[in-house]
């Protein structure tokens, strides 16, 4: 399979987790009604999926460093497929929740192993471009997946959504088996040794460059996730927009991420990793401050929220792929573990941050806007800390 086709396939594998969340969101009320279950219980199919998905990455990273990328990824995709079938035929909500956890444990192989494959195949700048195009395509998920899921649900029922996801698992498993060779030529026989794993993690977390890149990504993604978790309360609950208008607003912000990742892929090679991150974090800090300034000044309109948030999202699109490439690039021996730790920190940190935003919600846009501004400014500061770190030439 050609390099371009491999990149397309890896992009699809990385997006499987997000697709598994976004596509079945329109079915949540019907699932609650079908099982006569309270909404909070049905919501566990989302929250526990996220937790399991994050934890799984910490497992698959070292496994792929030890045994190779291809077999580990195929095993994860197979588990994802079987669990998807279990979701489709689940006789109770408890079985559905358990099957969703298994689905996440399988799907968690996608992001960490696919990114490690990219690191195996390409040098820093090319890897950053691939990550950028991956992110650009992934930004379509929140715009398109709920729409597709809604149509499938209306035509065939909620169980059909899980049949579609299981079918996607089968297709990706077959394509991976036929089209992607093993890329880990530096397998680490000690990768699963508890002592060695501890030393590897300690090496990562004491590397100033790695810690800086991971922190920058987690903060920028945390700001974006604060919007994801708080925007419906602000736009629908406070400003009174309709769900359909909210979807358009949400989609326009997702388009901001796509814009940033496109620009990163197009011009990142000329600027280099760090210069691109500098632009992204500067946009994030500036847009966040504008958003917070408007909110605290009492200017509360749809445009006052969406326009600065679009600019923040462009900054996210510029930062995340370059931050990931910068984080895992210097660690070919343990690229899987490096990608896993970065993904785990980014996902869990963002979830905790968004929970804090929800806790402080006061019926205005101020908590959300403040959280986004703090995240953007902190990311810019973290970047400057990274840049001042010794021992690594981080400019292209």
Domains along the sequence of the chain with CATH: 3-183 (1.20.1250.20), 200-387 (1.20.1250.20)
Q: Where are the alpha helices (DSSP H) in 68-108?
A: 69-88, 93-107
Alpha carbons 11 and 201: distance in angstroms, whole number = 26
Greatest pairwise CA separation for the chain in angstroms: 59
Most confident of 21-25, 146-150, 204-208, 276-280: 276-280
Predicted confidence at residue 111, as pLDDT, reads 83
Q: CA nearest 374: which of 314, 299, 307, 285?
A: 285
Between residues 253 and 166, the one the model is more confident about: 166
Predicted confidence at residue 197, as pLDDT, reads 79
What's the mean pLDDT in 66-73? 88
What's the mean pLDDT in 185-192? 75
Angle between helices 69-88 and 158-179 (to 10 degrees): 160
Between residues 149 and 389, the one the model is more confident about: 149
Predicted confidence at residue 164, as pLDDT, reads 95
pLDDT-based confidence at residue 143 (cuts at 50, 70, 90)? low
What's the mean pLDDT in 38-57? 81
Between residues 348 and 218, the one the model is more confident about: 218
Is the pLDDT assigned to residue 1 strictly greater than 70?
no
Sign of the Cα pseudo-torsion (114, 180, 19, 281, in order): positive
> Which residues have C-beta within 8 Å of that of residue 150, sequence separation ≥ 6?
26
CB 285 within 8 A of CB 379: yes
pTM value is: 0.71
Lookup: tokens for 139? 């930004």
Please give the full DSSP string across 306-366, using - where no structure is assigned.
Answer: HHHHHHHHHHHHHHHHHHHHHHHTT-GGGHHHHHHHHHHHHHHHHHHHHHHHHHT--SSSH
Alpha carbons 195 and 190: distance in angstroms, whole number = 9
Lookup: tokens for 151? 């149509």
Q: CA nearest 336: which of 13, 74, 119?
A: 119
Is the pLDDT assigned to residue 231 strictly greater than 80?
no
Alpha carbons 89 and 23: distance in angstroms, whole number = 17
Alpha carbons 136 and 167: distance in angstroms, whole number = 24
Q: What's the chain's length in residues?
A: 396
| Mean of per-residue pLDDT scores for the chain | 84
Alpha carbons 336 and 65: distance in angstroms, whole number = 6
What's the mean pLDDT in 59-67? 85
Is the pLDDT assigned to residue 312 strictly greater than 60?
yes
Out of 199-208, 277-286, 340-349, least confident range? 340-349
Of all residues in the chain, what percent carry a pLDDT higher than 70?
92
Predicted confidence at residue 392, as pLDDT, reads 44
> Within 10 A of 364 (CB to CB), how many other CB atoms are there?
15
Is the pLDDT assigned to residue 149 strictly greater than 90?
no
Predicted confidence at residue 394, as pLDDT, reads 41
Most confident of 146-160, 268-282, 308-322, 375-389: 308-322
Q: How far is CA 64 from the centre of its chain?
A: 20
Between residues 228 and 92, the one the model is more confident about: 92
Out of 30-39, 129-138, 334-343, least confident range? 129-138
What's the mean pLDDT in 347-373? 81
Of all residues in the chain, what percent carry a pLDDT higher than 90?
31
Is the pLDDT assigned to residue 283 strictly greater than 90?
yes
Is the pLDDT assigned to residue 142 strictly greater than 70?
no
CB 313 within 8 A of CB 192: no
Is the pLDDT assigned to residue 379 strictly greater than 80?
yes
Lookup: tokens for 295? 């909110």
Q: CA nearest 288: which of 372, 360, 212, 228?
A: 372
């Amino acid at each position: 399979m050609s390099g371009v086709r491999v990149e397309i396939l890896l992009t699809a594998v990385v997006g499987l987790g997000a697709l598994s969340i976004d596509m079945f969101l329109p079915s949540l009320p019907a699932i609650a009604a079908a099982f006569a279950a309270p909404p909070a219980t049905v919501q566990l199919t989302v929250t526990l999926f996220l937790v399991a998905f994050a934890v799984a990455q910490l497992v698959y990273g070292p496994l792929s460093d030890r045994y190779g990328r291809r077999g580990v990824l195929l095993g994860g995709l197979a588990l994802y497929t079987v669990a998807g079938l279990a979701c489709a035929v689940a006789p109770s909500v408890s079985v559905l929740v358990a099957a969703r956890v298994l689905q996440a444990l399988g799907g968690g192989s996608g992001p960490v192993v696919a990114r490690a494959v990219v690191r195996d195949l390409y040098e820093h700048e090319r890897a950053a471009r691939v990550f950028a195009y991956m992110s650009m395509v992934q930004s379509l998920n929140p715009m398109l997946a709920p729409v597709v899921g809604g149509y499938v649900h209306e035509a065939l029922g909620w169980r059909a959504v899980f049949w579609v996801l299981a079918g996607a698992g089968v297709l990706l498993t077959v394509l991976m088996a036929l089209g992607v060779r093993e890329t880990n030529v530096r397998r680490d026989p000690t990768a699963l040794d508890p002592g060695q794993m501890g030393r590897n993690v300690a090496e990562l977390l004491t590397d100033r460059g790695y810690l800086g890149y991971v922190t920058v990504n987690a903060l920028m993604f945390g700001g974006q996730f604060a919007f994801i978790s708080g925007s419906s309360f602000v736009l629908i609950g406070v400003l009174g927009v309709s769900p359909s208008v909210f979807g358009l607003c949400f989609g326009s912000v997702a388009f901001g991420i796509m814009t940033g990742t496109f620009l990163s892929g197009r011009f990142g090679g000329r600027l280099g990793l760090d210069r691109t991150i500098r632009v992204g974090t500067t946009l994030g800090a500036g847009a966040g401050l504008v958003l917070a300034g408007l909110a605290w000044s009492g200017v509360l309109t749809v445009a006052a929220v969406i326009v600065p948030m679009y600019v923040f999202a462009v900054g996210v699109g510029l930062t995340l792929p370059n931050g990931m490439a910068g984080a895992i690039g210097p660690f070919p021996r343990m690229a899987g573990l490096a990608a896993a730790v970065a993904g785990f920190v980014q996902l869990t940190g963002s979830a905790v941050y968004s929970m804090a935003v929800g806790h402080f919600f006061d019926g205005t846009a101020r908590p959300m806007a403040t959280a986004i501004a703090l995240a953007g400014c902190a990311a810019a500061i973290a970047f400057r800390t990274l840049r001042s770190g010794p021992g690594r030439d981080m400019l292209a």
